[in-house]
């Protein structure tokens, strides 16, 4: 169960299709190009355990580069296409990357990196950038046969830096013979979402993010077809589902919110009856949003809670969720523990830090201190979230610990407030943070993107304040509502809340 096998048995089957252009790469094409890429990496002196970096938008070359690296035993560090040159350089250096492959779509940052990475070999796909050699030309000059010493590689992914410097999550390379190494997501995909070789999987998010990349690779191991969107657009996603008869897809709550905010006539225009299983992750999903998606697409919507660290995997089906609304599921690969500040296990329905016991091992690359901070005295590890368990072992997340607001000694979790405000029809997006307050320590601030930018902001602020107070306790209701056209979001939907917090904490302090 590996693309090398599918290249032999089903060479003419599409391995992936670019949603907007329809460009198709078959398993035969993928096998040849991955072999050629592997020869190129070996010719550059890369050996098992070395690293390369990929700075690309969702290009048709993305997955072929990943599979070329995967058969050479190297770590591939995938960089966000939204990074600055300084941020990219930090990760490339920290990840010990000896080769950088960029796409023409990232030309501005890639060009700036040239003098910063004079000791790193640089290649470009989909065009030309000064200081970069053509990856396609270098690849095509190599043999299409397998390299003599194939070895399973790995993905070294960095956190998006929402709470500080990005940290790389490193797992040991597989010791299994090449071609037999199977991603754990393959078994989870089969068990939870009915993965088969006939599946057609839509990837609406950037491939540099952990979930879209790893699910796409799992689909390739099964022998299905990936349809990759170049950029997410809600109506374009519905069009892709209809055009390609999508059967499976992975989303984030922001995608759902944008889909649901489409006018009813647009939502009803497209045939989504081909969908068999979809699932979401990456951030808490507001209960009304998920209920609306189940009402629209049916009880085919799964959810999971996990991290790049791979130390646990909680999952819940639509049927389970309807009787455990708000839960992210039960752990399938480890045991979920809720702990107090001293690391003691707490009983059901007591809120505390979420830990996984007996899960997979990981380390933060070049940062033993962060690796140690992620574990408690019992050896249980955490992703930094807060939540509670019910009596049946279903996990309910409250928020990330680092985003908690402490106002007048009361702990307030922004996610609860965000999940309410985003359901208001006049709100397109929202972030809630704690801003400095001389009297209370912190005050609750909601930063709102109006659905209609011309809306009277004073009137909307009053309307949203009344809405919040009608549905939340007084202490949780925002004391201040600010408006912006956009929020600093990662393309996966993850909010760069640290940037907002830093901005507000640099401002003069206000009393509530």
Give the per-residue SS3 of 375-418.
ECCCCCEEEEEEEEECCCCCEEEEEEHHHCEEECCEEECHHHHH
> DSSP readout, 204-248?
-S-TTSHHHHHHHHHHHHHT-EEEE-SS--HHHHHHHHHHHT--E
User: pLDDT class for 235, splitting at 50, 70, 90?
Assistant: very high
Rounded distance, CA 369 to CA 300, Å? 41
Q: What is the pLDDT of residue 502?
A: 82
Q: Which of 69-73, 180-184, 254-258, 473-477 has the highest mean pLDDT?
A: 69-73
**Quick check: 192 pLDDT over 60?**
yes
- Environment class of residue 242 by beta-carbon count within 10 Å: exposed (0-12), middle (13-18) or buried (19+)? middle
The reply to whether 439 falls in a domain is yes
Q: What is the pLDDT of residue 490?
A: 67
The reply to whether 41 falls in a domain is yes
136 or 351: which carries more pLDDT confidence? 136
Span of 23-37, 206-220, 378-392, 493-507 with lowest mean pLDDT: 493-507
Q: What is the pLDDT of residue 82?
A: 81
Span of 74-83, 350-359, 397-406 with lowest mean pLDDT: 397-406
Q: What is the pLDDT of residue 438?
A: 72
Span of 26-35, 171-180, 310-319 with lowest mean pLDDT: 171-180
Final residue of a structural domain among 171, 198, 233? 171
Span of 212-221, 400-409, 472-481 with lowest mean pLDDT: 400-409
Q: What average pLDDT does range 424-440 have in this prediction?
A: 89
Q: What is the pLDDT of residue 27?
A: 98
Q: What is the pLDDT of residue 407?
A: 79
144: DSSP letter: S
The reply to whether 372 falls in a domain is no
**Quick check: 418 pLDDT over 70?**
yes
Q: What is the pLDDT of residue 242?
A: 98
**CATH code, 135:** 3.40.50.12780
CB 274 within 8 A of CB 247: yes
Rounded distance, CA 230 to CA 147, Å? 31
Split into its structural domains, the chain has a count of 2
Q: What is the pLDDT of residue 511?
A: 42
Residue 482 belongs to what domain range?
Answer: 404-505
Average pLDDT of the chain to the nearest whole number: 92
Q: What is the pLDDT of residue 164?
A: 53
Q: What is the pLDDT of residue 158?
A: 87
411 or 146: which carries more pLDDT confidence? 146
List of residues 6+ apart from 372 with CB closer than 8 A: none
**CATH code, 484:** 3.30.300.30
The reply to whether 184 falls in a domain is no
Classify residue 395 as left (phi > 0), alpha (psi -120 to 50) or beta. Answer: beta
List of residues 6+ apart from 15 with CB closer than 8 A: 3, 6, 25, 26, 27, 29, 30, 63, 220, 225, 226
**Quick check: 483 pLDDT over 90?**
yes
Q: What is the pLDDT of residue 140?
A: 98
Query: Which H helix or E strand runs over 339?
Result: strand 335-339
**Quick check: 435 pLDDT over 80?**
yes
Query: Which H helix or E strand runs over 257?
Result: helix 253-260
117: DSSP letter: G
Q: At 29, is the secondary structure helix, strand, or coil?
A: helix
CB 287 within 8 A of CB 321: no
The reply to whether 87 falls in a domain is yes
Q: What is the pLDDT of residue 484?
A: 95
**Quick check: 512 pLDDT over 50?**
no
List of residues 6+ apart from 405 with CB closer than 8 A: 411, 412, 413, 414, 432, 433, 434, 442, 444
List of residues 6+ apart from 318 with CB closer than 8 A: 294, 298, 299, 300, 301, 302
**Quick check: 509 pLDDT over 60?**
no
CB 4 within 8 A of CB 72: no
Final residue of a structural domain among 171, 195, 228? 171
Span of 88-102, 180-194, 498-512 with lowest mean pLDDT: 498-512
510 or 144: which carries more pLDDT confidence? 144
Q: What is the pLDDT of residue 163?
A: 44
The reply to whether 264 falls in a domain is no
Query: Which H helix or E strand runs over 123?
Result: strand 121-125
CB 364 within 8 A of CB 158: no
- Environment class of residue 491 by beta-carbon count within 10 Å: exposed (0-12), middle (13-18) or buried (19+)? buried
Q: What is the pLDDT of residue 86?
A: 87
The reply to whether 7 falls in a domain is no
**Quick check: 411 pLDDT over 80?**
no
Final residue of a structural domain among 138, 171, 204? 171
**Quick check: 147 pLDDT over 50?**
yes
Rounded distance, CA 268 to CA 427, Å? 22
The fraction of the chain above a pLDDT of 90, given in percent, is 76
Span of 34-43, 389-398, 403-412, 430-439 with lowest mean pLDDT: 403-412
List of residues 6+ apart from 358 with CB closer than 8 A: 334, 335
367 or 409: which carries more pLDDT confidence? 367
Span of 182-191, 406-415, 479-488, 496-505 with lowest mean pLDDT: 406-415
Q: What is the pLDDT of residue 160?
A: 53
pLDDT digits (tens, 9 = 90+) for 462-475: 999 999 999 887 88
User: pLDDT class for 37, splitting at 50, 70, 90?
Assistant: very high
66 or 495: which carries more pLDDT confidence? 66
**Quick check: 161 pLDDT over 90?**
no
**Quick check: 290 pLDDT over 70?**
yes
Q: What is the pLDDT of residue 18?
A: 98
The reply to whether 283 falls in a domain is no
Rounded to 5°, the CA angle 171-174-179 comes to: 135
């Amino acid at each position: 169960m590996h693309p090398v096998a599918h290249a032999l048995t089903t060479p003419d089957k599409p391995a992936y299709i670019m949603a907007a252009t329809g460009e198709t790469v078959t398993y035969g094409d993928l096998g040849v190009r991955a072999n050629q890429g592997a020869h190129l990496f070996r010719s550059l002196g890369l050996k098992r355990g070395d690293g390369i970096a990929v700075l690309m938008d969702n290009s048709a070359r993305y997955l072929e580069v990943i599979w070329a690296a995967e058969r050479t035993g190297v770590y591939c560090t995938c960089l966000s296409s939204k990074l600055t040159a300084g941020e990219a350089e930090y990760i490339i250096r920290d990840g010990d990357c000896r080769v950088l492959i960029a796409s023409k779509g990232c030309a501005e940052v890639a060009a700036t990196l040239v003098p910063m990475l004079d000791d790193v070999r640089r290649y470009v796909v989909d065009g030309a950038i000064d200081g970069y050699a053509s990856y396609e030309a270098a690849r095509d000059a190599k043999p299409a046969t397998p390299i003599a010493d194939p070895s399973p590689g790995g993905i070294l992914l960095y956190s998006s830096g929402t709470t500080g410097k990005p940290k790389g999550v490193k797992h040991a390379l597989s010791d299994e013979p090449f071609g037999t190494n199977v991603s754990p997501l393959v078994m989870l995909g089969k068990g939870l979402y009915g993965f088969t070789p006939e599946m057609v999987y839509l990837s609406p998010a950037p491939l540099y993010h952990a979930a879209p990349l790893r699910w796409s690779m799992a689909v390739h191991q099964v022998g299905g077809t990936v349809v990759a969107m170049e950029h997410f657009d809600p109506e374009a996603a519905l069009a892709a589902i209809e055009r390609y008869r999508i059967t499976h897809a992975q989303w984030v709550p922001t995608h759902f919110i944008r889909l649901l905010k489409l006018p009813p006539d647009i939502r009803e225009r497209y045939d989504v009856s081909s969908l068999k299983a979809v699932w979401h992750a990456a951030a808490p999903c507001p209960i009304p949003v998920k209920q609306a998606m189940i009402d629209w697409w049916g009880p085919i919507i799964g959810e999971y809670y996990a991290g790049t660290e791979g130390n646990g995997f909680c999952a819940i089906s639509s049927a389970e969720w309807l009787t455990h609304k708000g839960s992210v599921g039960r752990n399938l690969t480890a045991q979920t523990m809720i702990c107090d500040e001293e690391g003691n296990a707490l009983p059901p329905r007591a809120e505390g830090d979420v830990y996984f016991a007996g899960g997979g091992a990981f380390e933060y690359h070049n940062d033993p201190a962060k690796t140690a901070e992620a574990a408690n005295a019992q050896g249980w590890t955490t992703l930094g979230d807060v939540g509670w368990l019910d009596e049946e072992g279903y996990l309910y997340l409250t928020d990330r610990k680092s985003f908690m607001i402490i106002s007048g000694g009361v702990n307030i979790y922004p996610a609860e407030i965000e999940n309410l405000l985003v359901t208001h029809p006049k709100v397109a997006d929202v972030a809630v943070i704690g801003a400095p307050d001389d009297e209370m320590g912190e005050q609750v601030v909601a930063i709102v993107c109006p659905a209609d930018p011309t809306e009277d902001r004073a009137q909307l602020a009053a309307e949203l304040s009344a809405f919040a107070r009608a549905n939340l306790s007084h202490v949780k209701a925002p004391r201040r509502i600010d408006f912006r056209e956009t929020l600093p979001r990662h393309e996966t939907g993850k909010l760069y809340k640290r940037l907002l917090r830093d901005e507000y904490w640099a401002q003069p302090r206000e009393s509530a």
